Every structure is written in C-alpha cells, then in structure tokens.
Amino acid sequence: MKFNTTNPATEQVIAEYEIMDRTAVDEKVARARKAFESWKETDIGERTRLARKLGRMLMKKKQQLAESITEEMGKPVRQSLSEVEKCASICEYFSRNAKKFLRDEHVKTEFAKSYVSFQSLGVVGSIMPWNFPASQIIRFAVPSMIAGNVQIVKPSSTTPNSGGLLIEQLFKDCKFPEDVFQAVIGNPTTGTALVESKVNAVSLTGSTEAGSKVAQLAMKDLKKVVLELGGSDPFIVLGDADMDKAIEGAIAGRFMNCGQSCTAAKRFIVLREISGIFTEKFIERTKGLKVGDPADMSTDMGPLVREEQRKKIEEQLAASINQGAKLLLGGKRMPGSGYFFEPTAISATNDMTACREEAFGPLAPIITAGSEEEAIRIANDTEYGLGASIWTSDRERGEQMAKKINAGCVFVNKNVRSDIRLPFGGTRK
C-alpha cells in the first residue's frame, strides 16, 4: 500500500511513499538490535564526536531541510530555518555535556564503594509529530544515542521526508555506524507495529488520545514509555504587565506555526482592569500579520497542516460562538488554494469549547478575570497541564504565582518553550 503527501499551501501532491508493514518494521528492529551490541561499546568520545558532526551537517544542509519542512507541513520557512538551527544547537549541547551527564554518581554509604552508573537501554522506538518534524526527532534521538542507545523513528505520515528520510540520510552522511538510526515510513499501523516490536522503550509526541493508545500497547510488554502530549496553556496578563512585551509575546505564542504547537498560548487570561487595552492592542497587532505563502521569508503565518485541522478549528469556533463567545477578529477560511484560516480572536469564558479542548490552530480566546486568584483558578480549570506563562513587571510576584499553577513548566514574561537545559513535561493529561 502507498500514501501521498500534500503541500498544505497549494494542495498539490508532493510525493508517494510505500507503507512499511509489520514484517518490514521487524526487520529494521532486528538490524537495530544487532547494531546496538557494538554501539553501546563505542567510546563516548566517539559518540559525541559523531553527534557534533551531525550538528555541523545540519547547519550545512539547513536550507534543504527547512524547505522540506515548509513544503510538507506549511510552516513559514523563516521558522523552519530556526527549527533546523535548534537541531544543531541540541547536537552541540549534548556533545559538550554528555560526559558530565553520564558519569557515575558516587553515594556515601556504609559499603566500601557505592555509585549509580548509567547504562544504555537498547533500541528506542519513537513516534514523532508533524508540527516540529526535525527538532522533535533530534531532541529525542541525539541524547539517547550519545548514551549508547539506537533509534528507530516513525515520522508522521504528513512529514516522512523532513521528519524521517532526510534526517536518516544526514546520519549516514556523518558516517554513523549502520542501523544505529533508522526511519520507518507509513501510517498508524506502522506505528503500532513499531510499538509492538522488540524495541526496549517507546517515546511518542502527539495527541492525548494517541498517547493513551501507545501507552496501553507498550505496557503489554512492560516497555518503558515517555509521552509528550497536548496542552491548553494559559497566558496570564496581570495589571502591571509591560503591555507591549505582553502583546508581542501573545502574538508569537498564539500564531507561530499557525498555532499548531503543544506549548502554544491557547487561553489568554487577562485581568479586568487591562482587558480592554489588551484586546484592542492584540487585535491591532494581529491585523498586521502577513498570512500567505510559507516559502516567502516575509510570511508570518502559513496554512494549517490539513483540511481536517481547518475543519476542527471551524467547529471549535462555531461551538464557542453558539455558547456565547463574541467574534472579535477573523473567523473565516481564506480564499484560494491551501488550508489557510484567518488569525482569529474571540471574547470567551473558560467553559467554552475553544478553551475546554486543545485549539490546535490560529484561534485566540480572550478571557477576563476579576482578580489574580480568579486568574489562577481559570488557569488550573483544565484537564491539561503542560505549560503556562505569566506576564507582570514584578518578577517575584510572577514566581510566587507560578507555584500555584498546575503545569509542568511555567514561564514569567516569556512564552512557554522547550529548552534542552531544563526538564520538559507536563502534569495531568
């Protein structure tokens, strides 16, 4: 069986790919298990040398990789270039710090010698998303491989080239040993085959629903599992916030990558005393965004990744308006080809669909809170708990408030983002 990829900006078919079946996946896993036996014994100095070389190769090939990201999933090429640069920085960071991270940790006990030693695990199977097709793979694969593991990646069927085959070729170009990094291309059945194969651990970045299914499959064999799932991150603006900085943060936090990020700002909770000026400035700034051809370096926002994604945003918007939300800006498909949708803002309450569900697109619900305590309550009134941001001129106040937010990572006067120097993950779903 085969599947096609489609350019979301033009709706034109890009390429056709064979769907790898269970037999093909099992063959790759068998080769990976064989490669692991020698890779785990490879000196860490050699492993870090190869990872650093990969970083340089990513920079050398960044235009090609960025253009493929943009073609397959519609991200503005300026943002795609930044994604590839982040990949290179990940390689450099872990190459520089690997020996420190992996050295034995000595513990004082009554015994002659006690220490914790980090040993490689084996074959790691990763199911990766389409929204950051290159950086998500590099962020998971490189530190794991430096630690002596080998990697099999199943990219999204939306981004098999930028999230799989091009990355696999870069590893080959850097002369990594054969089969220590492999890509399997296909659909969800391919992913299921990978999870159920003889891999030692599984990672997934995707929806909560997909994560639940993968976790259940992996637990049948008690495989280690790492999941990075969805979010409905609150963006809290207090009365003393620097309004210009907050607005710039809000625009980037909501509309970068057309709002298709797990860490995007998805609920804007603004104190009543400034809600009017915030909303006015937010709408004014949003109107200035350039929406269009993602291959153009001046474009701020491209299309949604698929027609289904556009329909989902339309449904969430319509449901919220039926529940009493007020449309402030946008709300319509854009004319012409491509899965474009206008940057949209609504005045909402936290019980509306756009706030209860994860809105994975350019839809910004603005919620008014009467007090700081109410803002905290609204922020925590969700089944998600990935990230949050607080905007205030009083950093200490922001830090104290952050401790009351039920989320894995909380930023003060910065948008939520993954940072390889810090832990990253959420609470709850």
Half-sphere exposure of 269 (CA within 13 A, CB side): 27
Known catalytic membership, residue 174? no
Q: Which residue has the tokens 């948008």?
A: 415
Q: Which two tokens stand for residue 355?
A: 């706030």
How far is Cα 142 from Cα 148, in angstroms, rounded to an integer?
10
Q: Which two tokens stand for residue 100?
A: 């420190």
* SS3 readout for 61-123: CHHHHHHHHHHHHCCCHHHHHHHHHHHHHHHHHHHHHHHHHHCCEECCCCCCCCEECCCCCCE
Amino acid at 347: S
Cβ neighbors of 322 (< 8 A, separation 6 or more) are none
Q: How many CB atoms lie within 10 A of CB 323?
A: 15
- What do you get for the CA distance between the two ends of the chain, in Å? 34
Half-sphere exposure of 391 (CA within 13 A, CB side): 26
363-369 β-sheet, strand order: 326-329, 344-348, 363-369, 265-271, 233-237, 387-391, 409-412
Backbone angles phi, psi at 25, to 5 degrees: -65, -45
CB 123 within 8 A of CB 147: no
Known catalytic membership, residue 399? no
Q: Which two tokens stand for residue 134?
A: 């290159």
Instruction: Please pick, among 228, 355, 357, 409, the residue that the annotation labels catalytic.
Output: 228
CB 374 within 8 A of CB 401: no
CA geometry: angle 19, 68, 186, nearest 5 deg: 10
CB 326 within 8 A of CB 378: no
Residue 54 in 3-state DSSP? Answer: helix
Instruction: Please pick, among 262, 357, 358, 409, the residue that the annotation labels catalytic.
Output: 262
CB 144 within 8 A of CB 91: no
| Catalytic residue set | 228, 262
